Chain A
Amino acid sequence: MTVVGDAMVRAVSVRKSYGFFEALRGIDLEVTTGEVLCLIGPSGSGKSTFLRCINHLEKIDGGRLEVAGQLVGYREHNGRMYELRDREVCAKRAEIGMVFQRFNLFPHMTVMDNVTLAPVMVKGESRAAVGDRARALLARVGLADKVDNYPNQLSGGQQQRVAIARALAMQPKLMLFDEPTSALDPELVGDVLDVMRGLAEDGMTMVVVTHEMGFAREVGDTLVFMDAGMVVETGKPREVLANPRSERTKAFLAKVL
């Protein structure tokens, strides 16, 4: 199922603080191309923060973070770090798709415009080509008939699937999911997870912050348990979920399973 390749994401003792609060206290982590990595942990453990660092929505304060072999947000020259210009950061982000807990669809645009906006604007693709691709993507997430609807005319699950299609329309090489099903009614969770499962089967590299242990077990290649800004345990999802080694993982899983 998984094509194992080079490292897509490599984090070496990544640190991030907000004032005196240390959100990330040295994260070491590697995601290989084609891998599905699930991040679990109690709220406030830094999993979302780490995810947001990957596409530079948050600036890291220390350590080293690379995506596809290139530093995130910085350029290294003669041993010195230079901050990237806004335009360069944007170009990097365009290659990384992100799906948010609260969907964040653009409410003043139709579903179609939501999906086609960025490819036309950021990558300068032709409207016609993007339109065809958008229709195909919307059909893939089961929303071919909602093209002309506005987001608030859709259910939460449908909105999240549009959000996935919107991210995929940029043809990213890496997809980040920030608790994609946490804001959904229970009966709508399945449709979204099915779309994500399909993506994983097609070989997309994915980092998924989730509370869906079933999804993590069946779709994930690696499971990472984080607590208090650190990686506590890493392993095959089945093994970690069945036989957690650390006490903290055990305590957490006892509460959520």
Chain B
Amino acid sequence: MTTEADARPEASMTAVPVRHPGRWLAAVVVLVLVAMFVHTVTVSKVTRGGKSVHRYEWEVIRSYFLSRQVFDGLVVTLELTVLAMVIGITLGIVVAVLRLSPNPLLSTASWLYIWFFRGTPVYVQLLFWYQIGYLYPRLTLGVPFGPALLHLNANTFITSFVAAMIGLGLNEGAYMAEIVRAGIISVDEGQTEAAQALGMSRLQAMRRVVLPQAMRVIVPPTGNETISMLKTSSLAATISVAELTFSVQTIYARTYRVIPMLMVASFWYLIVTSVLTVGQYYIERYFARGAVRQLPLTPLQKVRGQVARIVMTRRDLPGAPARRR
């Protein structure tokens, strides 16, 4: 005899799902807000100077978006970001290694460097470097306390671009030093021991064994720092470096189209940030080798996988030619 309890449950569960009215309500509110935003940005018009124009003046944005002056500013912004980051990363590695040195003089010196540059605002530092000619009108290269080999006029050598590059780079070095140090101490001590037991020197072990593993910890915050630097570089506008923000400021000083020009700059910052984010994803993936069993899929591989899955399910649909197993 078969009782109720003997009956096997169905293979797939069919149950009435829990309703979430609160979520629905929130979704509707968000949807309305989005609709309002899209409307005000695209369709809505206002009267300015007797003419009915788009509230956001898309015409102005479009006409300046690819203009020569904005483009030149963007190039300077990118140059400044790359150079400052190169200085910052190089200094960061050196300072981090010094900080971990057994020599107390070296580790204290690097501690002081970090203390000073993290402890003062980067804006103040930029102004300082811009005014360096006041302290040192003549820069001299030579033997300490001895004869000089080369003289430079600070006012011509330290241009506003060079001042911004040094200022941003030195400041970044302090933050990068802490990031690199965190990476190095995150690697198990057994790794250094194993390398040394095989006869590798400290330097060899650092270069081939410790740093590549530290990169996994170092890369994400460094990507963060690079994105942050892209935007911090706009402070250079205050010492009249003709970068992106400075360029749009010059344009709206002439045309009084302040908001549209700020939007031009914002769009460019967003575009570059997006590109950097993608780049960071691939760098992280590269350094994940050996740390994860299966590398995460690239977006392209994910899309391909989705397409393949859809094609497969299509074949399983009734009426489709039967698939051989």
> Cβ of B59 < 8 Å from any Cβ of A?
no
B199 A122 Cβ-Cβ under 8 A: yes
Provide the A89-109 mask, 1 if CB < 8 A to any CB of B, else 0. Answer: 011011111101010111111
Residues from chain B with Cβ under 8 Å of A94 in the complex: 198-199
Question: Is the Cβ of B198 less than 8 Å from the Cβ of A153?
Answer: no
Identify which of residues 63-92 in chain A touch chain B, using a CB-to-CB cut-off of 8 Å: 86-87, 90-91
CB-CB < 8 A to A106: which residues of B?
191, 194-195, 209, 213, 290
The residue in chain A whose Cβ has the minimal distance to the Cβ of B192 is A104
Given A108-B289, A153-B293, do A57 and B200 touch, yes or no (CB 8 Å)?
no
Q: How far is the CB of A120 from chain B (nearest CB, A)?
A: 10
Chain A residue contacts of B193, Cβ below 8 A:
57, 100, 104
- Cβ-defined partner of B191 (8 Å) among A104, A118, A153, A163: A104
Per-residue A-contact encoding for B72-94, CB less than 8 Å = 1, 0 else: 00000000000000000000000
Question: Within the complex, which residue of A91, A105, A108, A163 is in contact with B199, where a contact is CB–CB below 8 Å?
Answer: A91
Interchain CA distance A37-B188 in the complex, whole Å: 29
In the complex, which residues of chain A have a beta carbon less than 8 angstroms from the beta carbon of B213?
106-108
Interface size class of A (residues with CB under 8 A): 20 to 34
Report A111-169 residues with CB < 8 Å from chain B CB.
117-118, 121-123, 150-153, 163, 166-167
Write out the residue numbers on chain A whose beta carbons fall within 8 Å of the beta carbon of B292: 152
A-B contact pairs, 21 of them (CB 8 A): A55-B197, A86-B201, A90-B200, A93-B198, A94-B199, A97-B197, A104-B188, A104-B190, A104-B191, A104-B194, A106-B213, A107-B213, A108-B212, A108-B287, A117-B208, A118-B200, A121-B204, A122-B200, A151-B290, A152-B292, A163-B194
B186 / chain A contacts, CB cutoff of 8 Å: none
A38-74 interface bits toward B, Cβ cutoff 8 Å, 1 = contact, 0 = none: 0000000000000000010100000000000000000
Per a CB cutoff under 8 Å, which of B196, B208, B212, B287 touches A93?
B196
In contact, B293 and A152 (Cβ under 8 angstroms): yes
Interface centre among B191, B197, B201 (most CB of A within 10 A): B197
Q: How far is the CB of B7 from chain A (nearest CB, A)?
A: 42
